[in-house]
Chains A and B, each alone.
Chain A
Amino acid sequence: MEALTYLFAAYSIIFLIIFVYAYSIGSRQKALWRELQSLKDTIEEEKQTTTAQKTESPKSSFAEIEG
């Protein structure tokens, strides 16, 4: 009976470690993926703002001239 307890303990530990490690890799990947997406969004927003400023600025200068 004692031998079976040791056997059960050993295999439980092996699979516990494997699952915890797999979960740890998965959660780190998810966190990085979210960070990556938010950084890409920030860059995209910055690009759009810059483009908008560039297209808006000639209009305002014309408006100033006309004024």
Chain B
Amino acid sequence: MGEGSFRISRVLGWATLVFMVAGLYAAFIYAPREVTMGDVQRIFYFHLAAAWLMMLAFGVVFAGSILYLVKKDRKWDIIAAASAEIAVVFSFVVMTTGPIWAKSAWGAWWTWDPRLTSTLVLWIVFIGYLMLRGSITDRSRRASISSVYGIVGFVDVPIVFMSIRWWRTIHPQLFNGLDMQMAPPMILTLMVCLVAFSLLYVFFLLQRIRLETMRDEVELLKQDISY
């Protein structure tokens, strides 16, 4: 990792921290108390930001996988693999904070609602993606097979997004076209949290890319020693 990218990581880390603190302040203090659900609605700000990060990360896996298959450049496979791990971690955040909110709002931790079920399926599919990567030792074979799997697995992402429009669901629908049914301070809070999680994503992605690049370097040196 060069001096330049180290500096970028550092700036990103601090920017993420600042926005996270601002997001927490906005979610707990600045945003007004929601009338129907009360304070538990404040989970929504970080829950939705985590869901945004998850979708963004899966989108990058999809784009990275396509670009790898087209260009056969290892860097796209590294980006896809790095993003897939982050996506799985933040799917887990979504899958744990969602039920906590659901318990308070719906009286049940889990229902087989289309949004919840399709998200669970997406999470399992990409755990499979990571397991697949771990099971193939040949680098180019691993990259090609994972890319195909990543593209096919991404099919579930639009299903997750559209599930609350296509099927009858109890999951709240935030957007009605471009209209957000929230008070302006709530929208601003949500925006701050979205920026915080977007920065967090880029920070983690850079760190994971660095990890993957080091792994490649280790593999190459091991080959050099054995020859």
Contact = CB atoms under 8 A, between A and B. Distances in A.
Given A39-B221, A39-B225, A10 B100 contact: yes
Contacts of B208: 25
Given A21-B89, A25-B204, A10 B221 contact: no
**Which residue, of B47, B101, B221, B225, has the highest number of chain A Cβ atoms within 10 A?**
B221
A36 B217 contact: yes
A6 B103 contact: yes
Interface stretch (B69-77, B91-99, B136-144, B158-166): B91-99
Nearest to A26: B207
Interface in B199-217: 200, 204, 207-208, 210-211, 214-215, 217
Contacts, number: 75
B211 A43 contact: no
14 contacts: A6-B40, A6-B43, A7-B40, A10-B47, A10-B97, A10-B100, A13-B93, A13-B100, A14-B93, A17-B89, A17-B92, A21-B89, A43-B221, A43-B224
B211 A32 contact: yes
B96 A13 contact: yes
Interface string A35-63: 11001101100100000000000000000
A14 B221 contact: no
Interface of B: 24, 37-40, 42-43, 46-47, 50, 89, 92-93, 96-97, 100-101, 103-104, 200, 204, 207-208, 210-211, 214-215, 217-218, 221-222, 224-225
Given A4-B39, A17-B92, A11 B46 contact: yes
Interface size class of A (residues with CB under 8 A): 20 to 34
Contact of A7 (B43, B210, B225): B43
A2 B221 CA distance: 56
Interface of A: 2-4, 6-7, 9-11, 13-14, 17-18, 21-22, 25-26, 28-29, 32-33, 35-36, 39-40, 42-43, 46
B39 A7 contact: yes
* Residue from A3, A9, A29 whose CB has the most chain B CB atoms within 10 Å: A3
Secondary structure of the B side of the interface?
A: helix
Q: Is the interface of A mostly helix, strand, loop or mixed?
A: helix
B207 A25 contact: yes
A67 B13 CA distance: 69
A63 B96 CA distance: 77
Contacts of B207: 25-26, 29
Contacts of A26: 207
A28 B214 CA distance: 10
Contact of B225 (A3, A18, A42): A42
